[in-house]
Amino acid sequence: MMPLVKWLLLVTTFLYSSMSFAIAEERRDLPEIKFTPQEISYLNNKASLSVCIDPQWMPFEMNDNGKYVGLTADYMALFEALIGKPIHLFSTKTWLDSVEASKSKQCDFLSAVAETPQRREYLEFTDPYFHSSLVIATGLHQPWINNIDDISGNKIGVVKGYASAEFIENNYPDIAITEVDSLKQGLELVAKGKLFGMVEMLATVGYQIQQEYIGSLKISGKLDRKWDISVGVNKDQPLLTSIFNKAINAIPMEEHQRVLNNWVSVSVNHDDPNMLSDAELDFIRKHPVIRFRTRSNRPPFEFVQDGKVAGLAIDYISLIAEQTGFKAEFVLDDRPQPDAFNEMEVDVNAFDTLLYSVKNQQRAERFSFGDAFLSYPVMIVVNKNLGYIGGINDLFGRNVAMEKGFVTTNWFKRDYPLIDLVETANTVQALRMVDSGNSDAYIGNLAIANYMKATGALENIKIAAPTEYANVDYRFIAPKKWPELTSILNKGFRSISPHQHSLIQQNWFSLQTIDKTNYGLTWAILIGALTVIGGFIISHRKISKAKRKLDWLLIELTETKRSLEVKNQQLQKLSITDRLTGLYNRLKLEEVLAKEFHRSFRYNEVYSIMMIDIDHFKRVNDTYGHQVGDVVLQEMSLLFLNNIRKVDTIGRWGGEEFLVICPHTDSDSAEKFAEILRAQVEKTHFKQVENLTISFGVASYQPQDTIESMVSRADEALYEAKSLGRNRVVAKK
């Protein structure tokens, strides 16, 4: 049995029902309202009333593809019946859009608002028709908040434009407010540990926790204020405010209760949401020992240290096993990943499951996956003697070592079939090939590369650049027939306290390890997104002395990183720019050519290149001198830049030759485009030499092409254009 947490307040909210913004089918007995002659005249002059809502504020209200649903929608149905006028929805995308629509008189009123001094400038407020408390949602392991002073100095999220933000700012200045776009976004930041808590209404917070964050977040306390919800009417319609007040006061108590019961039910639950179910406890009784396949060569996740298994994943699984009541055994096995997956599916096997795995569609069909508990960015690691590598496209013509059977390797093979790939048995082997110079680069797990470099196992590698691939998440995994195991692992992980998380991390990423590294590597380790660590955060008051030192180091590293980034950007720009014309140089053009060729090869799309030569340029240099020749090159470059399309790339190929790369352009279109450029140059008056002409050689991609064959065809076409008298376009299809 796992330990119980303290009393947990959960708000159980119903999924929005089939009820919509309409009068209920059964006729309700509602009292008749006596309106004044002025109010009757106002209503007679209105065919209908228009309302603006918060389109994403369940369970209060939501715009569900044009259908108005939620608690306030039910109240609007009551108002329709009492007032005798239809109310239609004025659709907006966000709450801030609704506020602006109200200010500009595009709708008559806002459905549900709290009164604040700022809003009084443009709204009249009716009597409240609903009341709620403001509560604070935090991570599950945070202490209960008995006093608002308990959260002073912590980062608290509020939704931008909500009254709660204005209220906290005015009444609790010591709270550090962070504005977010939505409640869901704020709770996600709390779950990831980037915010201490999120303040919003009890019903809405409870709804979101119930939908997505059971076992990760809880309601930890409330602010000492009842939050009144009113209708917000445009200031130029005081009669409508009076009409709504009469309608609100006429609603019978049983109707209020009916609406409330449709959408919100608040209960106190004494159970830990991470407590094991009867089925999970029965699973552990039947399977008291779970054997985890453990590799010897993936530090810091799993490896052999001093003759024993060790690593971050080992520590987590061991702690989860202790807290949930099963025994974890670690079976050393270094077979390739595909073979390990096959082993999990046979009846008699060497191990029951893996410590973790990356989920994809094919694997999800074969196995049961749990939560992500570790994560790392996919980076390019190169030998330190290799030149500048800014992305995967810079690896054309080089070889890359990657692990056989890994998801990242499959991505790379799919996306970059023309780059030479060497598949290795494991990550360490791939990294050692790069370290020894037998391979140029490794693409994959940053954490392993950092750890091995920091501990001295690798001396000749460097982190070169990020890739376009998203972070890779390591998830709990179990045989398909054992879904209970992934659920047990999930619950065990969520039950780990912040202090326990911190101890495990410090064991593998301590300051002593960081001291061995340079700033660049330290930064990579610190921001390498190694541990997702579910939805926990560490209380500000409990941060240790070592953590404070690390914070100062982070600040110092941030400044160093910014300075290095600026310098690197300057160096990178210099490395790809022709100094005379400011256009791309040949090195950059070759990179773009490789990228465009790769894209066309993969998707069977067409593109064209245009080789351009300034006619009789030698005569310009001989007649006017090289300085004038340089000015001509600059003028010509500016003319090209002003006349090519945004999708095109132009650069100086060499001397008086230029190259234009035209994506998604077939031969006929490229030839027409070249003719337009040729005519533009012919009619241009240059400052010192007046008239010039240019010649074009055009080549378009064919399935049998290589980069070299395309450039060669364009060059041949250019030579033919010059042979035919210059000032013309020749295309070689």
Residues labelled catalytic: 656
Give Rg (Cα) of the chain.
33
Beta bridge partners of 113: 230
Name the residue with tokens 């593809």.
65
**CA–CA gap between residue 597 and residue 396 (Å, rounded):** 11
CA distances for 395 relative to 381, 389, 390, angstroms: 11, 7, 9
CA-nearest of 163, 134, 136, 131 to 260 is 131
The SS3 assignment for 449 reads helix
**CA–CA gap between residue 172 and residue 466 (Å, rounded):** 42
b/e 398-427 (16+ beta carbons within 10 angstroms → b): eebbbbbebbbbebbeeebeebebbbbebb
Give just the sign of the alpha carbon dihedral 377, 378, 380, 383: positive
Contact, 229 vs 113, CB < 8 A? yes
What's the CA angle centered on 131, arms 127 and 137, to 5 degrees? 145
Amino acid letter at 430?
A
The SS3 assignment for 720 reads helix
The SS3 assignment for 466 reads strand
**CA–CA gap between residue 524 and residue 465 (Å, rounded):** 11
Cis peptide before 417, with omega less than 30 degrees from 0? no
Q: Which contiguous run of DSSP H or E holds residue 144?
A: none
CA-nearest of 324, 316, 230 to 285 is 324
The SS3 assignment for 722 reads helix
Q: Which contiguous run of DSSP H or E holds residue 437?
A: none
Cis peptide before 703, with omega less than 30 degrees from 0? no
Amino acid letter at 651?
G
Residues 6+ apart with CB under 8 A from 718: 611, 612, 613, 695, 696, 697, 730
Q: Which two tokens stand for residue 231?
A: 């209708």
551: left (phi over 0), alpha (psi -120 to 50) or beta: alpha
Q: Which two tokens stand for residue 258?
A: 């009916």
| Residue 540: other Cβ atoms inside 10 A | 12
Amino acid letter at 77?
A
Q: Which two tokens stand for residue 649?
A: 């790339």
**CA–CA gap between residue 666 and residue 646 (Å, rounded):** 17
CA-nearest of 500, 445, 440 to 320 is 500
